[in-house]
């Protein structure tokens, strides 16, 4: 009987990570290859061939392939999107530049907003106007739409966005404009605001719709090339793409709404972390994903990732449902340098996949965080990735000495340690940004460390933030790829319904949820999800009368009556803002429904139950921890040979294909029944221990 294999892969800036699971046995195989930024699908094809060889599987046995990508995000960051035009209501041509009339940094006059993705000459006003309640004040001039479309085509546009005022209330004018554009510009990529984001606030709606158009044509070409490469490799199933809320969508959906794929890979990692950490008995964790280019942090509270409906991509607002992830430029490839004031800095600039850190021997000349870890023996100074990537430790040491140690009059060890400590401080600030600053107490959470460099720095980052326990999953360097195998098919639907929250508006909300349920069922049918695997999650956005912004309240499966909803809102408002206002009128803003297609996950193969830590020891090397401890002879263990229940006391280095975990002297290291490494801090207060025990 042929095996049924499921593949998840994540395309990062430095590496492309892959995971394969056998549905029958639960056995997981991992693989990692350097990314190919010039054509991401090239690394995907190479990686799949290598992954199947590792798993001794055949392409014909693959029944599912999901992938996370930053192609759309990188297009915006690098401004490599399509030449795009915008049609908008007369008088609203400059909404994108006016924005919210706020400065990115109030007192820094050197900081400027990014230029709009579409210059003013390609933003054309159309005679039409709806009132806020949806009545027609001025009918759409279709002849003007046709004239504008021809003018844009003459400028060589590939994509056209349409954003009319109050189209979220009534899409009739945008629908009529779309019909004209389909006739006049049949080859243009069309992005219609009422289809992309049927919510109020025209600036966010226009910005999101425009970005969808900007990345649409090239994202479509990328997906076409990806499908061609997969077919060439013998993979029959169409690929699914992870979007920002952590769910999966088909190529057709991703092509129609590519703006939803921002933060695609990081979102998959958080979804996987929620499943793995929950099974390990840690429902409250801070996810800590350190790759080659960036550090991504997020909060999982009571087993569920936190979410947001708005974020920026390269300074441009994008209002789509997304997992709440904060990203900073701190990764293994982050460059260490001395600024004009003589201070040591690390990142945000990265050497990327090419040329990479100096130690990789691919032409890199600037010292990086990876080079610092190699100098201190925390990373194998001979080879990484199970010997597949040779390391030039002498070159790394020379780079740190010449560029950092000598100018700062430090020893090489002090310079390398300084690089690590600066990076750890940056990572710690990011974690405090998603915990303390948002009403979460770090001491009540565990740090869930993954990515190629997460476990390497987890102990120091946890100490920096007051987090008492670190959890490291199996093959942490490929956690985002594994998370794709744990994600469900999903798509978000939203309806704006601004009204005081009372029995009448709550009854209207029920009707809107029923309408979205019908749309969700139709979409799941189109995605090929069997009825037995369909589900939905519901939420509402609420605010106090007079507030500008709202908070999200999740609704339980059986619904919620009005008094219970009011109580839930007060609790969430107090957690978010530190207060509630009893007796104040509450306003309903948006109704949200997430359509879910449950995907079979299978039970992972457990780690070996026999053996001993001593049998897993594969050597020893000198490791530099800090000024007080200095260099220590440190045992090195092969994680794959450590049995469930193994217990070690640091110092220790635990190596596997995709990552290295460092335990400091005195730290207790345990392997749980699922194979997760659990590291406990050597010193922490009794209050912190008690808080975690009751979290």
Same domain flag for 21 and 60 = yes
With bands split at pLDDT 50, 70 and 90, how would you rate the model's confidence at 603? low
Q: Name the domain boundary from 182, 217, 252.
A: 217
417 belongs to a structural domain:
no
pLDDT at 233: 87
What digits encode the pLDDT tens for the residues 392-428?
Answer: 999 999 999 999 999 999 999 999 999 999 999 999 9
What digits encode the pLDDT tens for the residues 244-273?
Answer: 888 899 988 898 999 988 767 688 899 999
411 belongs to a structural domain:
no
269 belongs to a structural domain:
no
CATH number at residue 529: 3.30.1490
Q: Name the domain boundary from 535, 562, 597.
A: 597
Q: Rounded mean pLDDT of the chain?
A: 90
Is the separation of the CB atoms in 206 and 192 below 8 Å? no
Q: What is the DSSP letter of 293?
A: S
Is the separation of the CB atoms in 237 and 250 below 8 Å? no
Same domain flag for 42 and 164 = no
Q: Name the domain boundary from 565, 597, 629.
A: 597
Same domain flag for 651 and 549 = no
268 belongs to a structural domain:
no
Q: Residue 378, by phi and psi: left (phi above 0), alpha (psi -120 to 50) or beta?
A: alpha
What digits encode the pLDDT tens for the residues 554-602?
Answer: 999 888 899 999 999 999 999 888 899 999 999 999 999 999 999 877 6
Same domain flag for 159 and 232 = no
CA distance 7 to 17: 11
189 belongs to a structural domain:
yes
More confident residue, 233 or 512: 512
Same domain flag for 175 and 190 = yes
536 belongs to a structural domain:
yes
CATH number at residue 84: 3.40.1360
Host domain of residue 504:
489-597
CATH number at residue 30: 3.30.420.40
21 belongs to a structural domain:
yes
pLDDT at 70: 77
pLDDT at 693: 39
More confident residue, 324 or 457: 457
| Gap between the terminal Cα atoms of the chain | 45
pLDDT at 2: 72
294 belongs to a structural domain:
no
CA angle 470, 475, 481 (to 5 degrees): 110
With bands split at pLDDT 50, 70 and 90, how would you rate the model's confidence at 475? confident
Same domain flag for 196 and 113 = yes
Taking the model in full, what pTM does it have?
0.83
Q: Show the DSSP H helices in 257-391 as ranges.
A: 264-279, 369-375
Same domain flag for 236 and 164 = no
Same domain flag for 177 and 94 = yes
Same domain flag for 81 and 207 = yes
Q: Is the model's pLDDT at 438 over the cut of 90?
A: no
Instruction: Return phi, psi of residue 334, to 5°.
Output: -65, 135
Number of domains in the chain: 4
What digits encode the pLDDT tens for the residues 656-669?
Answer: 988 999 999 999 99
Q: How far is CA 282 from the centre of its chain?
A: 21
What digits encode the pLDDT tens for the residues 678-692?
Answer: 999 765 433 333 444
Same domain flag for 657 and 548 = no
Same domain flag for 173 and 147 = yes
Same domain flag for 531 and 641 = no
The three state secondary structure string of 653-683 is EEECCCCEEEECCCCEEEECCCCCEEEECCC
CA distance 135 to 249: 35
pLDDT at 1: 59
Q: 401 is written with which tokens?
A: 């000495």
pLDDT at 352: 75
């Amino acid at each position: 009987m042929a095996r049924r294999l499921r593949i998840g892969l994540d395309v990062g800036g430095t590496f492309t990570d892959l995971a394969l699971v056998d549905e029958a046995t639960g056995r997981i195989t991992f693989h990692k290859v350097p990314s190919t930024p010039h054509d991401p699908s090239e690394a995907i094809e190479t990686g799949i061939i290598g992954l199947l060889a590792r798993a001794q599987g055949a392409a014909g046995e693959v029944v599912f392939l999901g992938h996370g990508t930053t192609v759309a995000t990188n297009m915006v960051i690098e401004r490599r999107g399509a030449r795009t035009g915008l049609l908008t209501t007369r008088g609203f041509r400059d909404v994108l530049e006016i924005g919210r009339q706020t400065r990115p940094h109030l007192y820094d006059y050197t900081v400027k907003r990014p230029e709009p993705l579409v210059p003013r000459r390609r933003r054309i006003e159309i005679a039409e106007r709806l009132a806020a309640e949806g009545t027609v004040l001025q009918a759409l001039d279709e002849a003007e739409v046709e004239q504008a479309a021809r003018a844009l085509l003459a400028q060589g546009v590939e994509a056209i966005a349409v954003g009319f005022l109050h189209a979220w209330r009534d899409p009739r004018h945008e629908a009529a404009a779309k019909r004209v554009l389909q006739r006049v510009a049949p080859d243009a990529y069309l992005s219609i605001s009422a289809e992309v984001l049927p919510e109020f606030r025209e600036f966010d709606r226009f910005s999101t719709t425009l970005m969808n158009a900007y990345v649409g044509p090239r994202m479509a070409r990328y997906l076409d090339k990806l499908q061609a490469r997969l077919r060439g490799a013998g993979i029959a199933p169409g690929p699914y793409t992870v979007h920002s809320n952590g769910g999966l969508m088909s190529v057709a959906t991703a092509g129609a709404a590519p703006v939803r794929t921002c933060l695609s890979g990081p979102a998959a990692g958080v979804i996987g972390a929620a499943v793995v950490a929950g099974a390990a008995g840690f429902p409250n964790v801070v996810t800590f994903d350190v790759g080659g280019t960036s550090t991504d942090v997020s909060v999982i509270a009571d087993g569920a990732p936190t979410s947001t409906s708005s974020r920026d991509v390269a300074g441009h607002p994008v209002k789509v449902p997304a997992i709440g992830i904060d990203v900073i430029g701190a990764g293994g490839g982050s460059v260490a340098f001395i600024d004009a004031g003589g201070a040591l800095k690390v990142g945000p600039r990265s050497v990327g996949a090419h040329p990479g850190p100096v130690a990789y021997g691919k032409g890199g000349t600037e010292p990086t965080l990876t080079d610092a870890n190699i100098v201190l023996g925390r990373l194998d100074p001979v080879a990484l990735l199970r010997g597949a990537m040779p390391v030039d430790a002498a070159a790394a040491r020379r780079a740190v000495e010449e560029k950092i140690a000598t100018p700062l009059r430090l020893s090489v060890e002090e310079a390398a340690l300084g690089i690590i400590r600066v990076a750890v401080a940056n990572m710690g600030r990011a974690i405090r940004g998603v915990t303390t600053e948002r009403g979460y107490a770090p001491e009540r959470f565990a740090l869930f460390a993954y990515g190629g460099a997460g476990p390497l720095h987890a102990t120091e980052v946890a100490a920096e933030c007051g987090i008492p326990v670190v959890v490291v999953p199996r093959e942490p360097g490929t956690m985002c790829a594994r998370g794709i195998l744990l994600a469900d098919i999903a798509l978000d639907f939203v309806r704006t319904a601004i009204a005081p929250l009372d029995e009448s508006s709550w009854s209207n909300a029920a009707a809107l949820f029923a309408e979205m349920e019908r749309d969700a069922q139709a979409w799941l049918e189109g995605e090929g999800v069997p009825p037995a695997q369909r589900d939905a999650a519901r939420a509402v956005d609420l605010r106090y009368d007079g507030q500008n912004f709202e908070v999200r309240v999740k609704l339980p499966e059986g619904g919620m009556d009005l008094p219970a909803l009011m109580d839930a809102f007060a609790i969430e408002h107090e957690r978010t803002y530190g207060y509630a206002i009893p007796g104040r009128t509450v306003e309903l803003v948006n109704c949200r429904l997430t359509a879910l297609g449950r995907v079979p996950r299978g039970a992972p193969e457990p780690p070996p139950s026999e053996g001993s830590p001593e049998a897993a020891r594969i050597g020893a090397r000198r490791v530099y921890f800090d000024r007080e401890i200095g260099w220590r002879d440190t045992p090195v263990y092969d994680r794959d040979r450590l049995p469930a229940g193994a217990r070690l006391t640091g110092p220790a280095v635990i190596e596997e294909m995709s990552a290295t975990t460092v335990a400091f002297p005195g730290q207790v290291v345990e392997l749980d029944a699922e194979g997760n490494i659990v590291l406990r801090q050597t010193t922490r207060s009794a209050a912190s221990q008690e808080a975690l025990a009751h979290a």
